[in-house]
Structure 1
């Protein structure tokens, strides 16, 4: 189950809320810098949710959720509990029907939750309009960034255009953070397995190849990952 984060929708230094007089390229450049300062996918998602409120004209709240076909959305990051309630369907369990359009389109919106297909759930939370943008998609899972506004009709064509540009930056930063996390994990795993192999060499009086084979056999016998076996050996060795 993905972690859930709530972050304050405060402005970033050097990134005022987007206005007509603030150059789009400058705003996106500043946003991209903040996104690429994160080192983990979770950090990127938290930053993106906060930035969305600052950079998308009309946005009051924002959240990033993941869902599979026919499943309840899981909030990965949000600016406040209003978004958490809206995206988790805590107000009567109503589905976000407009999100279904994101399987085939990069954008879906609700102009007015009291008259459009947003149902009573959003309106009950004081959210009148929404702009949803696809971040990631495969055959069974979507990751969606949604900006919410307390006013109806808050998101026009300009907001949609800016949103699509912004999510492109978010997607690149998310991919970069994911690769960084995977490489870091791989390095830690290599070091851990190396430590465990050294312990077994000393304990069993064997060479490195035989010690590694012993780790592999234990992993297969217990049906657990090699990293877990190595961690157990290292932790046991280091316990007084």
Structure 2
């Protein structure tokens, strides 16, 4: 045997590597959070043959959970039930920051209402994996199967890899969206300042102070005050959300 020859890869290794390589490329090619997460759940069905449904729930500041992507309405229904009850593996995964595996929903006693609901929807196995960054848990990747004891240790390993890809991609997509919003806000404020400077013969500092005062008086974001001024050519006496 050639001493320089590499050992043969285990069966399926190349296909798994190819799958994750394509996932990485596709995630980087997506522009927004929703497109990024949709790519993740679509790849989950490809990478895990036992997985029949998949979805991602993302934590948001002050707004609870949002559901940007699911593979079918069953997942949205499962999510909504847990959000309404504030109970189930999804919420536990978020709080405990650890993956949760339900081997068979018929034998699951921790969340009886949830178990009853998902059984009625044809779900027998569940694997929830947290999406984590340096800042903490940003969401959960939820995988479902119509068969009991469906997720093997290899499936769990793949799910964790998928979750790591998703965590980085979502964090990057959110950062990019925030940057675009910030740039847009600066453009609006600059345009509104220009209107004030021309109409009232103000310098830049004074025009900005006027916008800032109206923002504070109306308890509205500076961007919204600027947008109002640009659209109406008026300074608001009162703004409504």
Shared fold per TM-score greater than 0.5: yes
Q: Is the 8 A contact 1:216 1:226 kept in 2?
A: yes
Specify the structure having the higher radius of gyration (Cα).
2
Task: Give 1:42 shift.
Answer: 2.1
Does 2:157 align with 1:165? no
- 1:97-136 residue pairs with structure 2 within 5 A? 97=89, 99-101=91-93, 103-117=95-109, 119-136=115-132
Name the CA distance, whole Å, in 1 between partners of 2:184 and 2:86: 43
Q: Which has the higher contact order (CA 8 A, sep 6+)?
A: 1
Q: TM-score of the superposition, structure 2-length normalised?
A: 0.79
* Per-residue Cα deviation, 1:34-56 (whole angstroms, up to 9, x for no partner): 11222122222222222221222
Name the CA distance, whole Å, in 2 between partners of 1:49 and 1:153: 21
* Match of residue 4 from structure 1: none
- 1:115-194 residue pairs with structure 2 within 5 A? 115-117=107-109, 119-136=115-132, 143-194=139-190
Q: TM-score of the superposition, structure 1-length normalised?
A: 0.80
Which stretch of structure 1 is more off in the superposition, 133-142 or 227-236? 133-142
Q: 1:74 to 1:210 in 2, by over 3 A?
A: closer
Task: Give 1:139 shift.
Answer: 10
Q: Which runs of 5+ in 1 are unaligned?
A: 1-18
Task: Give 1:106 shift.
Answer: 2.8
Q: Pick the structure with more helix per residue.
A: 2
Does 2:72 align with 1:76? no
Does 2:80 align with 1:88? yes
Q: Which runs of 5+ in 2 are unaligned?
A: 1-10, 235-241
Does 2:60 align with 1:38? no
Task: Give 1:142 shift.
Answer: 5.8
Which stretch of structure 1 is more off in the superposition, 97-106 or 113-122? 97-106
* Match of residue 17 from structure 2: 25
RMSD over equivalenced CA pairs, Å: 2.9
Name the CA distance, whole Å, in 1 between partners of 2:86 and 2:184: 43
Task: Give 1:21 shift.
Answer: 6.2
Q: How many residues align?
A: 217
Does 2:228 align with 1:235? no
* Match of residue 42 from structure 2: 50
